[in-house]
Amino acid sequence: MDALGREIEALKPQVRNMFISSKGIKKKILFTYLLVTLGLAYHFEDEIVETLKDGFQKIEEMMAGEDDLYTVSVIFYVFRTYGYNISSDVFGRFLGDHGEFKECLTRDPKGILSLYEAAHMGTTTDYILDEALNFTLSNLESLSCTCKPNLSRLIRNSLGLPQHKNMEILVAEEFIRFYEKEEDSDLTLLKFSKLNFKFLQLHYLQELKILSKWYKEQDFHSKLPPYYRDVLVELNLHTLTYLEPKLSRVRIFLTKFYTMQIILDDTCDKYASLREVEILVDIFESVV
């Protein structure tokens, strides 16, 4: 981990310089999407926040005349990811005379995939995104059979679970594989993402080691009958929604909390009457 950490710190200024030197706000936002999808955004939060703050003030100027589906979808996705309420009307430029998405868009599988991902960032009033989701779902399956294998794999994975609903670390793992085979991939950024992913893996394993030691020290096996689920690793996996190394204590605490929750739940299933469970729930609710 120390060796990986040193390599990461050595490469970080180069990647930061790539980000800062990107020409124009639009290019910086597209680069931000790469950082987010490769699991690297947490290294450059200050730069990203400043870029989006500046970009949102110039959103109309930036989007004027932009007719590339991939670019518009990615910009929309990034702004919504960081909490900016960019209007879904930006997709109106891709509608035909009858209010449906233009059929010519189906010749752009990468753009369709990006629109599909963007459609999952909608609210209950973003009706155009409902139409976008229907349109992309009706085309992506067939497009995955005709496009390049590298993009086909990414499409199929996204259809299984879109990026917005997936864990950042799992998205990064898949996208690193995709990015590595792209002709225009940047070798420095690719190396940085691989080193970062390996570092995170080792970091998570260190946490699991700590948790395993704690679990053995509790000696649940001798203290309790074998009625409860022994799923420490599975519970720990759920905490990896918090990607960053600095959130280590959060992941460890949540895993311990989930473990006690599972034991309590299984105890109620095994031994408690309905009335006893109701009383227990009332107690918890009164405390909250």
pLDDT tens-digit map of 44-76: 999 999 999 999 999 999 999 999 999 999 999
Selection from 152, 148, 96, 88 nearest residue 123 by Cα: 88
In a domain, 172, yes or no: yes
- The answer to whether residues 84 and 140 belong to one domain is yes
φ, ψ (nearest 5 deg) of residue 58: -115, 25
The pTM (predicted TM-score) of the whole model is 0.91
Same domain, 271 and 153: no
136 and 6 within one domain: yes
| pLDDT score for 28 | 96
Q: Which of 165, 185, 205 corresponds to the end of one domain?
A: 185
pLDDT the model gives residue 265: 93
CA distance 282 to 275: 11
Same domain, 8 and 78: yes
pLDDT attached to residue 171: 96
Q: Give the pLDDT confidence score for residue 287 in this predicted structure.
A: 84
Domain assignment of residue 9, yes or no: yes
Quick one: 181 and 226 in the same domain? no
Residues 242 and 152 in one domain: no
The answer as to whether 132 is a domain residue is yes
Question: Could you tell me the residue range of the domain that residue 245 belongs to?
Answer: 219-286
**Do 55 and 173 reside in the same domain of the chain?**
yes
Smallest Cα–Cα separation from 116: which of 94, 131, 138, 136? 136
Residues 89 and 176 in one domain: yes
In a domain, 214, yes or no: no
What was the pLDDT predicted at 106?
Answer: 94
Q: What are the distances in angstroms from CA 113 to CA 31, 153, 165, 198?
A: 17, 12, 15, 27
CATH number at 129 reads 1.50.10.130
Last residue in a domain, options 167, 185, 203: 185
Asked whether residue 169 falls in the same domain as residue 282, the answer is no
Q: What is the pLDDT of residue 269?
A: 93
**Site of tokens 């994975």:** 157
* 113 and 54 inside one domain: yes
pLDDT at 98: 86
> Would 209 be classed as within a structural domain?
no
pLDDT of residue 277: 94
Whether residue 34 is found in the same domain as residue 118: yes
Instruction: Give me the pLDDT at residue 32, please.
Output: 97
Q: What is the pLDDT of residue 97?
A: 87
Cα–Cα distances (Å) from 283 to 102, 274, 286, 287, in that order, read: 56, 14, 5, 6
Residue segments in the chain with a per-residue pLDDT below the cut of 50:
none
Does residue 258 fall inside a structural domain? yes
The encoded tokens of residue 229 equal 């689920």
The predicted pLDDT at position 148 comes to 92
Claim to verify: residue 61 and residue 150 sit in the same structural domain: yes
| Residue 195 domain-assigned (yes or no) | no
Of 185, 205, 229, at which residue does a domain stop?
185
In a domain, 73, yes or no: yes
Tally of domains within the chain:
2
Place of tokens 């009625």: 227
